[in-house]
Structure 1
Amino acid sequence: MTHMHVAGAIHADVSSPGPQWLERPADPNELDAALWSVTTKRTADGVVSSGGIRVTDAVEQFGSPLYLLDEQDFRTRARDFRDAFAGWTVYYAGKAFLTRTIARWVDEEGLSLDVCSAGELATALDAGFDPARIGMHGNNKSLGELATALEAGIGRIIVDSLDELDRIVGLCEANDWHAKVMVRVTPGVEAHTHEYIATAHEDQKFGFSITNNQAMVAMVRCHYDPHITLLGIHSHIGSQIFDTGGFEVAAKRTMKLLSQFTDATGTQLPELDLGGGFGIAYTNQDSPSTADELAANLREIVEHEAHGYGITEPKLSIEPGRAIVGPSGMAIYTVGTVKPVDLEGGAQRVYVSVDGGMSDNIRPALYAAEYSATLANRASQADTMLCRVVGKHCEGGDILVHDVFLPADVHPGDLLAVPAAGAYSREMASNYNHTPRPPVVAVNDGATQVLLRRETLEDLMALDVGK
C-alpha cells in the first residue's frame, strides 16, 4: 500500500486505463468507513446521508454543487489530536478551511489556531479567538499583515526571512510593540509527498537553512534584539504525510540546532514546533496513522533526541493540517453528461461530467491528487464501469476523480459524493470561467447551518467596476 498520491500524467496508459491499485468493488453501494466522516452512511433507500441529513434534501435546499461538513466528525478529530498530544499545543491549520464558525469550534475544543494571511487572521479575530493562541505563518508577510498581528498581540509569528525580521523590528520600534517569534528552519528532509507540498528540502521558498548556518544567524539576531522574544524553532516537512519517519530526521536536526544555540548564547529556547501535515485517506490506497500512533511515535522521537543532546525537552507543538477537517467534508455534484470513449487496444473510459470541477477542487489538476466518488442519491444493482469524473470547465485537465468504478446505470441527474473534501477544496476554490463558488453547509444531528453561502452572479458582477 503506497504512502503518497499518484502524480502521473493526466491520461493513463490506454492499454490499462485504471491504476494498478484500483480494484473493482464487490459492492459499489458500500461506503468505505476510512474515507467518510463518522456519521456518513446510506439510508434504507440507498441515499447517502451525513450528520442526519440526506444529500438529496441538502441539494434540494441549497443547490448543487455543494460542500457538506460534518460537525460531529470535526469535533471528534479535534479532540482526538488534543487528547493524544496532551501537554503539547495543537494548532488547527486555518489554511485548510476557516470560517468564523470553524474558529469557534476550534476554540471550544481547546486547540490553538494557525493563520497565514490577513484574511485568515481577520476571520479568527472577528470570531473572538484569543490572539495569544494564534500563530502566523507566511513566507512574505506584508507590513500591514505584520502590523495587524503585532497590534492584536498574537502568540507567535513564524519568521521566514531576514527581510521579514527587518519589517517586524521596524514596526516594533515605531509603535512600541513587542514580538514573540519562532524561526522557521528547513531541516533538509525530503517528505514522501508531492513536490509542491514538500516544504523542508533546501531548494524551496520557506524558512532558513540549517546546513548553511542561515537558521543560526536568524536565531541569534532575534535573541539579541530588544523588541523580540525568541520562543524557539519551527520545522515543517510537508503535507499529506502518513508516518513519522521524516519527523525523526527533522527532530534530530532541530534538537541539535537548539543545543548549538544554547552553547553559543548560554540560553536554552523553550519551544519546538515539529509541524505536522498529517495525511488522510482520499482513496483506499491511503493508510494514514491515527492521532494516538502519531503522538506515541513523536513523543518517543523527541525524548530520545533530547536525551542524546543532554537538553531539557522543550515545549512541543504540532499542526495536524488537513487531518482534522479533511475527512469531515464531502462534495456533492450533479451529473450532467455521461460519455463513453473508446481507447486504443479495445479499452474504454466513461467520462462522467458534473456541475463543478477545477474551480471548486483544483487539487487533482495541481497535484494529480487522487479522489474517490460514489453514487449518492440512490443505490444501484448494476455492474460497475471504470469512469473518470470531470468538471464543466474549458480545460482538458479539469478532472475531479481520475479513475473510479461507478454503476453502469449512472445517468444525468444523479448525484455523486466525493469524500475527504473538507480541506483545500473550498479554501482553494476560484471563479474560473466566472463560476460562482459553492456553499459550505455544516450538518449535525439532523440540523443544517450555512457556514459560507453560495456565491451568485450578482456577487461576481459587483466586483466588475468597469463599463
Structure 2
Amino acid sequence: MDVFSSATDLLRDRRPERPVLALRPHAASRAAAWFLANFPGRVLYAAKANDARQVTDALVEAGVTAFDVASLVEIERVAGIEGAELYFMNPVKSRGAIARAYREFGVRRFAFDTADELDKVLEETDGAGDLTLFLRIACPNTHSLIPLEGKFGASQEDAPALLLKARQRAKRLGITFHVGSQAVVPAAFGEALRQVGQLIVSSGVLVDAIDIGGGFPARYPHSDPPALSSFMEEIVRAADELAVKHSCELLCEPGRALVAEAESVIVRVDARRGNALYINDGAFGTLFDAAYSGFRFPARLVTPDRQKTASPEAEFVLYGPTCDSSDYLPGPFVLPACVDEGDYLEIGQVGAYGRVLANRFNGFGEFDEVLLTDEPMLSMFDSSEDDAQAVWPARA
C-alpha cells in the first residue's frame, strides 16, 4: 500500500477517480496504548468497528490481545492472531455459530440475556465445564448519542434468576452492559456499575467479571466529550464501591474510541449547486453516521493551492453519489467558500464503522486505499490529556 505524508501529498501524485480510504494505523496504536495504560482491567477491541488489517495489526502490536466478536466472520478474521482471546458477546447467536465457535475456534466466552439463549449455549457446547458466561443486562442509554437499549439486556426483575442458573453451570460468571455508542458523560458508566452492584447484592450471586462494554467517545465537530481520563476516574470510583472489587475482573470493549481517528476518506466534488456539494462517497459508503445518526465529521479542502485553502469559509451540505435522495449529509461541513467541482475533500474520523457499513448500492462503494503518516484531524489523545495510571488493578 502506498504511503504519503498527507492527503495533499497524495494529490500531488494522482487525481483519484474513486474515493480513497486513508489509514492512519499510528492513531489506532496510540489509542490502544492509552487504554491499556489507563483502563483498570482487560481491554477488548470491538472488532465490528473496523476490519482493516492494518488497523487490527496496529492494535495488536500495541498490546491488544482480546476481541469482542459478534459473528463467525469476525471470529474467523481474528482467530489467527497469536494469543487472541475471543469473547462472543452477541446476546443472540445461531446454534451453528455457537458450536463452530466452541469446537473449531476455541471460544469459551459467551454472552446471553435470556434463559433460552443460555440453554442454547449449554446445549451446543454439550454442557461444557470450561465456559465463561456473561449475562447482558439492560441499562439506560440516556448519556449516549446513539442509544443501543431496547434490543438486548435482561431486566432487573429477570436478572437474578438468570445469574443463579448460569452460576450453576459456568466456570466463570460475568455481567455485561452497554451504555450506548458515543457516551459523552462519564457518569453513564458509574450509574451502570452501581446498578450492577445492586444486582449482585440483591441476587446473592458472586460474579468473577464485569464487562462494562463500549461507548467510549471519539471527538467530532458536534461532540467534544470530556477527556477520557475523566471516564476512567468515574469507572474506578464506581468499581471501588462494588462488594466484589477484590475478586472480580473488569473488562471493557472500546471500538469507536480506538479506531475513529485511524481513518479518513478523501472524496472528489463532482458538482456544486449553491451550498450543496455532490461527492463520490456518501450515506451508503463510509458516511452512514453523517446521514442517519446526525454526526458531523471534520472536513477540509485538500489542494496544493494555498490561495484556495485560505479563502473565507462557508457552510455546506453534502450529497452522496447514489440516486437515493436519502443519500444526504446535512452537516453542516465548514469549507472554503470557493470549493467547486473537481476539488477534493478529506473527511476525518470515519475509522469507526465507516468502511464496515459501506455497501455497493448503485454500483458505488469501491475505494482505493493509502497510508497517511500525518495526524488525524481531531484527537482524544493529545499531549495535554492526563495520562495518570488507573488504580483498580487488572486481575487474571
TM-score under structure 2 length normalisation: 0.85
Q: Do 1:374 and 1:416's aligned partners in 2 also have CA atoms closer than 8 Å?
A: yes
Structure 1 residue 324 corresponds to structure 2 residue 258: yes
Aligned to 1:461: none
Q: Deviations over 1:331-386 (max 9, x none)?
A: 1100110111xxxxxxxxx1111111112122122222222311012432322222
Aligned to 1:190: 141
Distance change in 2, residues 1:236/1:245 (3 Å): same
The whole-number CA distance in structure 1 between the counterparts of 2:181 and 2:4 is 28
Structure 1 residue 199 corresponds to structure 2 residue 148: yes
Residue 55 of structure 1: CA displacement? 4.2
Aligned to 1:290: 227
Residue 207 of structure 1: CA displacement? 1.7
1:363 maps to amino acid: D
The whole-number CA distance in structure 1 between the counterparts of 2:116 and 2:260 is 34
The whole-number CA distance in structure 2 between the counterparts of 1:153 and 1:169 is 15
Distance change in 2, residues 1:445/1:155 (3 Å): farther
Q: Unaligned stretches of 5+ in structure 2?
A: 376-396
The whole-number CA distance in structure 1 between the counterparts of 2:248 and 2:7 is 47
Aligned to 1:141: 93
Q: After the TM superposition, which residues 31-430 of structure 1 pair with which residues of structure 2 at under 5 Å, given as runs?
A: 52-55=5-8, 57=10, 60=14, 63-85=17-39, 87-111=40-64, 112-126=66-80, 128-131=81-84, 133-151=85-103, 152-173=105-126, 178-187=130-139, 189-194=140-145, 197-200=146-149, 204-210=150-156, 212=157, 214-225=158-169, 228-261=170-203, 263=204, 265=205, 268-283=206-221, 285-303=222-240, 305-306=241-242, 309=243, 312=246, 314-340=248-274, 350-360=275-285, 361-378=287-304, 379=306, 380=308, 381-430=310-359
Secondary structure at the residue paired with 1:205? coil
The whole-number CA distance in structure 2 between the counterparts of 1:141 and 1:389 is 38
The whole-number CA distance in structure 2 between the counterparts of 1:282 and 1:383 is 22
Secondary structure at the residue paired with 1:259? helix
Q: Do 1:172 and 1:178's aligned partners in 2 also have CA atoms closer than 8 Å?
A: no
1:256 maps to amino acid: Q
Q: Do 1:389 and 1:401's aligned partners in 2 also have CA atoms closer than 8 Å?
A: yes
Distance change in 2, residues 1:101/1:207 (3 Å): same
Distance change in 2, residues 1:64/1:437 (3 Å): closer
Residue 325 of structure 1: CA displacement? 0.4
Q: Do 1:88 and 1:317's aligned partners in 2 also have CA atoms closer than 8 Å?
A: yes
Q: Do 1:182 and 1:231's aligned partners in 2 also have CA atoms closer than 8 Å?
A: yes
Secondary structure at the residue paired with 1:208? coil
The whole-number CA distance in structure 2 between the counterparts of 1:311 and 1:326 is 31
Q: Do 1:100 and 1:123's aligned partners in 2 also have CA atoms closer than 8 Å?
A: no
1:199 maps to amino acid: L
Q: Do 2:19 and 2:268's aligned partners in 1 also have CA atoms closer than 8 Å?
A: yes
Residue 277 of structure 1: CA displacement? 0.9
Secondary structure at the residue paired with 1:276? coil
Q: Do 1:222 and 1:229's aligned partners in 2 also have CA atoms closer than 8 Å?
A: no
The whole-number CA distance in structure 1 between the counterparts of 2:303 and 2:95 is 50
1:436 maps to amino acid: G
Secondary structure at the residue paired with 1:240? strand
Q: Do 2:209 and 2:250's aligned partners in 1 also have CA atoms closer than 8 Å?
A: yes
TM-score under structure 1 length normalisation: 0.73
2:148 maps to amino acid: T
Q: Do 2:4 and 2:370's aligned partners in 1 also have CA atoms closer than 8 Å?
A: no
Residue 205 of structure 1: CA displacement? 1.3
Q: Do 2:88 and 2:110's aligned partners in 1 also have CA atoms closer than 8 Å?
A: yes
The whole-number CA distance in structure 2 between the counterparts of 1:224 and 1:61 is 62
Structure 1 residue 432 corresponds to structure 2 residue 361: yes
Residue 411 of structure 1: CA displacement? 1.5
Q: Do 1:171 and 1:177's aligned partners in 2 also have CA atoms closer than 8 Å?
A: no
Residue 251 of structure 1: CA displacement? 0.8
Q: Do 1:97 and 1:325's aligned partners in 2 also have CA atoms closer than 8 Å?
A: yes
RMSD across aligned C-alpha pairs, in angstroms? 2.4
Residue 105 of structure 1: CA displacement? 2.5
Q: Do 2:189 and 2:234's aligned partners in 1 also have CA atoms closer than 8 Å?
A: no
1:154 maps to amino acid: V
1:279 maps to amino acid: P
Q: Which has the larger radius of gyration?
A: 1
The whole-number CA distance in structure 2 between the counterparts of 1:99 and 1:67 is 10
Residue 243 of structure 1: CA displacement? 2.4
